[in-house]
Amino acid sequence: MPSRLLALGLLLCLPVASLFAQAYPETHAAPPPAIAAPPAAPPPAHDDHPPHTLMPRASHDALADKVDLSAFRKLAVFSAGRAKIVDTYAREQLQLIYGKSRWKDIDTNRQFDPVFTWLDLMLNKSYYAQRPTIYVEVLELRRSLVTLLPEKDQERWLKYGRLAPNLFLLPEAQQIVDASAADLRLNKARVQVLRAWRAFQASPQALSMLSPPASSDHWTMLGDHAPANNLLMQLAEHWYHGNASKVNQTLNELTVLLTNHNPASYPSMGLRKAEYLYNTTHRFTIGYIAYLIAFIILLIAMNTERRSLRRTGVAFLLIGFAIHCIGFAIRGILSGRWPIHNQYESFIALSWFAAFTGIILMYTKKQLLYGTAAAALGAATLLFANTVEIPSNELGQVPGILATSRILYIHVNIIIASYALIALGFFISLIYLGNYYLKGPNGAALRDLDRAQMVVLQLAFWLLGTGTLLGAYWADHAWGRWWAWDPKETWALITWIIYLIVIHVRFATKRPHLVTAQLSVVGFFVMLWTHWGVNMLLAGLHSYA
């Protein structure tokens, strides 16, 4: 019998067709693909230039060299609830599409300006069709997608982290992406890819770049304004032909047109320049350099007692702090609110407040130690913000529940201040521990250090308690329950308990200073967990905080 079945099987050598596509019964047909329509077609063919030819790399790179975007990048565009400059918008879009703000040519290793690449992506899509461009963040999804490529190329593309837009036009790729919707964990990956794809497909005509008249606050899209649309068409054509001088000329005309359309409602040049500066300095996080220099010099100064070193160290600390201040202030001005509404903002605010307190204490208590700790903290936090992509670092509107409360401002500010002090206390305690273990338990500096850590930690304890209780007051008001044992609440309490123990354990131990310093280190990590880990790893009501 099995042999007969086998014979039957062998009879079934059917013509090679896309069998698997048909293997699914019709009732099980995949839903229409969420990835729609291929990328926009290139501009209409010109007589002297046949359509659909790929721009050679040499002319592409030459265009990138010659095109002048200095004025264009500072134009305003309205998106996600605020008017931002093109430079910011281009960075955001590339972040979405490519996962980084600077596109890199994998063969020449050349990196391109974000605004250039963004314009190029919209006006010259075909250039990117075969190049690694669409960011696929999650490795598992990337791995399934590269299986559609020839085997010898798979490993290479897997490493790029970005896949070619052409690949996504394959129905199989769409099926793979759609199928990820079924798995909750992979669904995140799918949403990311769909967002990247949508941003990749964007048309320049849909950009709201014409400022509103006095009677309205509605920005007009380029495509809805005939002269602007006309210029855009010309730009597209010159761009497509790699004609840099004509491109520059059209960009200038566009700049003039847009800034003079409704000058009254157009964001001021000063503000736009500030935003550009904000972007090019990595949101002023480069202040870490000054902080780092200050920390090293102050550390030496503390041990050598040389006045010149002290002065230089303090000067660098103040420079670092000034940069930090400007970054914080510009963000506030650009977003039009006190910038503490997401993780990036609260992180910057936290380190700013800690540095501020450190500097104030340095002057009032006349101890260099506070300044040293402030510099260490400023350097560590700004370096972190500079190198690691902290979630929700885009400027934008905030969820309704956060926007309609005044208590929130006080609650969050107080909590952030207490976290900042905990961080400052941590650095002081580290210096204490270093002194204790390296110079022995009887060092003269230890008493001062202990007093310093207690000053900071006591204030942190009070602020954390007050902030948490204010949060409870707010929760009672907004959620109808003052204490819900939500993970964030629980961990705020646990953090507070650690410092409650710090304060009381001093009565019950023979070496209160040392135990305080050790618990301060523990408390700092608990605080980090409360501030970051809880948001990342535990689900709860505070997921936007």
**Cβ atoms < 10 Å from Cβ of 309:** 18
Site size for another protein (CB under 8 A): 78
Element (H, E) at 79: strand 76-79
Touching another protein, residues 431-450 (CB under 8 A): 437-440
- Binding segment for another protein (CB under 8 A), chosen from 9-17, 106-114, 170-178, 274-282, is 9-17
Q: Which is nearer to another protein, 129 or 505 (CB)?
A: 505
Report how far residue 173's alpha carbon sits from residue 183's, in angstroms, rounded to the nearest whole number: 17
Touching another protein, residues 451-480 (CB under 8 A): 458-459, 461-462, 465-466, 469, 472-473, 476-480
Q: Is 380 in the site for another protein (CB under 8 A)?
A: no
> Residue 326 CB, nearest distance to another protein (Å)?
27
Position among 49, 311, 504, 511 found at the interface with another protein (CB under 8 A): 504
Q: Residue 183 to residues 162, 188, 535: CA-CA distances in angstroms?
A: 22, 9, 22
> Residue 92 CB, nearest distance to another protein (Å)?
17
Q: Is 24 in the site for another protein (CB under 8 A)?
A: yes
Element (H, E) at 354: helix 343-364
Touching another protein, residues 53-92 (CB under 8 A): 81
Q: Is 226 in the site for another protein (CB under 8 A)?
A: no
DSSP-based three-state secondary structure for 220: strand
85 contacts 79 by C-beta, under 8 angstroms:
no
Q: Is 32 in the site for another protein (CB under 8 A)?
A: no
Of 342, 470, 484, 481, nearest in space to 399 by CA? 342
302: CB partners within 8 A, 6+ apart: 368, 369, 372
> Residue 437 CB, nearest distance to another protein (Å)?
5
Cα-based torsion angle of the residue sequence 409, 410, 413, 417 in order, rounded to the nearest 10 degrees: 180
Q: Is 481 in the site for another protein (CB under 8 A)?
A: yes
> Residue 228 CB, nearest distance to another protein (Å)?
20
Hey, what are 148's tokens? 């559609």
Q: HSE (CB half, 13 Å, CA atoms) of 184?
A: 0
Q: Which is nearer to another protein, 183 or 389 (CB)?
A: 183
Strand runs labelled E in 250-328: none
Q: Is 1 in the site for another protein (CB under 8 A)?
A: yes
Hey, what are 57's tokens? 């790399």
Position among 33, 252, 401, 447 found at the interface with another protein (CB under 8 A): 401
Show the binding pattern over residues 178-217: x = contacts another protein (CB under 8 A), - = does not: ----xxxx--------------------------x---xx
Q: Output phi, psi for 134, to 5 deg.
A: -85, 120
Q: Is 50 in the site for another protein (CB under 8 A)?
A: no
Report how far residue 58's alpha carbon sits from residue 260's, in angstroms, rounded to the nearest whole number: 36
Touching another protein, residues 100-159 (CB under 8 A): none
Q: Which is nearer to another protein, 284 or 496 (CB)?
A: 496
Q: Is 31 in the site for another protein (CB under 8 A)?
A: no
